[in-house]
Structure 1
Amino acid sequence: MMDDEYWDTYPETLTTADVAKILRVGKPAVFARLQSGIIPAHQVVGSWIIFKAEVRAWLASTSNQAPDGPPAPVDVLATYGDELSFRDLMVLFDKTKPTIYRWLQTGEIPAYHVGIRWIIHKTQLRQRLRETSNQRGHDE
């Protein structure tokens, strides 16, 4: 299996090009596998959000050296506090400030606009990630 040093060369949120490189396939194959739910990811307003931790757990579960059964659940929000800021979302989703603001304003990401601040509760964001996961049908 790929070691920590290998994985450390990739950001926490992967691009489709990153996934193509990891899997040694073309981007069309990555998109097909995202659509079918083979590669775990989240689709938010047409954007694929691919978390390294989820891909790493999925790959570990496909190894002929792995124990049988589904991969252990991965909590990509574990290191965040109970409330996140728009800056946290920029890092988490690897998206620009205008994209995050648009998602907040349209309700794609559940949040509260208090004064000049956006407050995102981790429990609501976790639920939204469950809803946008391409793994929903696989787990239920």
Structure 2
Amino acid sequence: MPVSLRSGDLQSVLGIRQTTVSLWFRRGVIPGYVIGHSWFAFRSEVREWVESTANGPASRRPRDPDPLDAYRDVLSVAEVAQLLRMSQQAITGWIRDGCMPGVRDGRRWTVKKSALRELLRDSRNRKQG
């Protein structure tokens, strides 16, 4: 299973309809993030949510690593697209529209990992306390 999950993935994994996925994202039932108008979730957070809501004893699995730990301090558009399972054009559009912080380095856009972490924190549907 990929690191990030889109609505269609959650439909399949959870066995629910698209309208339910969308509603649960908006209500914060499923842990997720919205950038622009696109919702996604990280597999590790969905797994923890499923385990926390399941009947029966909790699993004793080690916690999954942070998805951003695999990346350097500055990510290319291609790396952000791979992480979020979006097209490079969508990521570039988000940067140009101001939805995602980016830095233009000559002809290429890059995204600082720290800025991406902040964006994810701010776009999360469940605020962590």
Q: Which residue identity does 1:119 align to in structure 2?
A: T
Quote the offset at 1:73 in angstroms.
Answer: 8.8
Normalized against structure 1, the TM-score is what?
A: 0.80
1:24-57 Cα offsets, whole Å, 9 max, x none, are 2212111111110010110011100222122112
Structure 1 SS opposite 2:9: helix
Equivalences for 1:65-80 in 2 at 5 Å? 65-66=57-58, 75-80=66-71
- CA shift, 1:75, in A, is 2.3
The residue identity in structure 1 corresponding to 2:17 is G
- 2:36 is matched with 45
Matches within 5 A, 1:101-120: 101-120=92-111
- How far did residue 119 of structure 1 move? 2.2
Paired positions, count: 125
| Equivalence for 2:83 | 92
**For the Cα contact (< 8 Å) 2:7–2:40, is it kept in 1?**
no
Distance (Å, rounded) in 2 between the aligned partners of 1:62 and 1:124 = 31
User: In the alignment, which residue of structure 2 is the partner of 1:3?
Assistant: none
Structure-2 separation of matches of 1:17 and 1:113? 32
Q: Is the CA contact (8 Å cut-off) linking 1:57 and 1:74 kept in structure 2?
A: no
Equivalent in 46, 52, 57 of residue 48 of structure 2: 57
Unaligned runs of 5+ in 2: none
Match of 1:5 in 2: none
Between 1 and 2, higher relative CO (CA 8 Å, sep ≥ 6) is seen in 2
Aligned-pair CA distance for 1:111: 1.5
Q: CA offsets per residue over residues 48-98 of structure 1, 9 Å max, x none?
A: 02221221122122233228xxxx796221111111000001101111121
With normalisation by structure 2, the TM-score equals 0.86
Change (3 A) 1:74 1:13: same
Aligned: 1:83 with 2:74: yes
Is 1:133 aligned with 2:124?
yes
Gaps of 5+ in 1: 1-9
Q: Which residue of 2 aligns with 1:12?
A: 3
Percent identical across equivalent pairs?
A: 30
